[in-house]
Structure 1
Amino acid sequence: METSKKVKDLIIPISDYPHMPYWGTLKEAIVQLNVAYDTGHHTVLVFDEAYKLVGMLLQKDILRGLEPKFAQHYEEGVPIAWDDLLKSGGEKQLARPIKEFMSAVTALIDAEDSILKASHIMLQKDAYLLPVMEENKLVGVVRMGDLFHEITNVVLEL
């Protein structure tokens, strides 16, 4: 197995990954992730009007968006059922724009960089996904699971 693979060898093109504008709603993001779930995509990339990446909406961001503010004060969890919470004000929460919940992009990687460099960045930044740039343009993403598979296959062949 080749040990010098580059990020571009594992890239998921931006057209194949869930993405939406920052003004999209939390409900729209949930729909996108539910549709993409079987493909292993668990993040929505968030863009501005100029199609510039401005953030990422992670599963934990969505759960934080759904969780009522008072529930954050309980260490043992929410004292009532989720469906009750969503019935009382949940529709309003689902209509809020994803820019209110998204996480910042903490790192980027170049398509020509090695998969080992991508792995290092992910470990340093505690990221499971890296946006991939080529000639200063976002072309896709690389996921930790895909890097893990490639790296461990090399290790197992030693």
Structure 2
Amino acid sequence: MKVKDAMSRSVRAVKPGTKIIEVASLMCLHRFHGLPVVDDEGRLIGVISEKDVLHSLFPTLDDLVTEGMHSVDLDHQLSLYKGVLEQNVEDLMAHTPISVDADMHLLRAATVMVRHNFRRIPVVEGGLLVGMLSLGDVHKAIFHANITGGLKSR
């Protein structure tokens, strides 16, 4: 069974020049935890996650050492969010995205996902984004294949 047999082809992606406020809106309104980033040709060039957006709000190690863990002004850290919203995706995204190929065996793709602690992963074909695969997609495909007799026992 291949990734292309289980993946979702309906993918919401963003461009590197997209403002973070648009990404944050998508994340909050549609419960996206991350979005693939594509260039004008549709090639996968990055991923932007909630963690990437929120990362700059966390106190740095220097802040913690200098001010102490309980002395950092967390309300001030929260106020930095407005500045984050003005940035572009390319400023915060992961520039070396991990993806799987549409023709990869489904369990091999699931192994990549588990190894990297991902619940969803972009699917590419020749570098172009063609879908997303979730652990739920993997489970559903395996379940249906076993219930309908699509897999042969060995």
TM-score where L is the length of structure 1: 0.71
Q: Indicate if the aligned counterparts of 1:106 and 1:125 stay in contact, CA closer than 8 A.
A: no
Equivalent of residue 137 in structure 2, options 137, 141, 146: 146
**SS, match of residue 19 in structure 1:** coil
**How far apart in 2 are the matches of 1:80 and 1:136?**
44
Match of 1:113 in 2: 104
Deviation sequence 1:66-124 (CA, Å, 0-9, x none): x05xx123385784444x5444x532221011212111344332222221111122233
What amino acid does structure 1 have at the position aligned with 2:3?
Answer: V
Over the matched positions of the two proteins, sequence identity in percent amounts to 21
1:23 lines up with 2:17 in the alignment = yes
Equivalent of residue 60 in structure 2, options 59, 67, 72: 72
What amino acid does structure 2 have at the position aligned with 1:21?
Answer: K
Greater Rg by CA:
2
1:7 lines up with 2:19 in the alignment = no
Q: Pairwise mapping of residues 112-131 of structure 1 onto structure 2 (< 5 A)? A: 112-131=103-122
What amino acid does structure 1 have at the position aligned with 2:39?
Answer: D
Unaligned runs of 5+ in 1: none
**SS, match of residue 55 in structure 1:** strand
**How far apart in 2 are the matches of 1:122 and 1:36?**
22
Unaligned runs of 5+ in 2: 148-152
Q: Indicate if the aligned counterparts of 1:54 and 1:104 stay in contact, CA closer than 8 A.
A: yes
Equivalent of residue 94 in structure 1, options 85, 110, 116: 85
TM-score where L is the length of structure 2: 0.72
Q: Indicate if the aligned counterparts of 1:55 and 1:102 stay in contact, CA closer than 8 A.
A: yes
Alpha carbons of structure 1 residues 21 and 114: separation in structure 2 relative to 1, 3 Å: same
Please, what is the CA RMSD of the aligned residues?
Answer: 3.2
Aligned length: 144
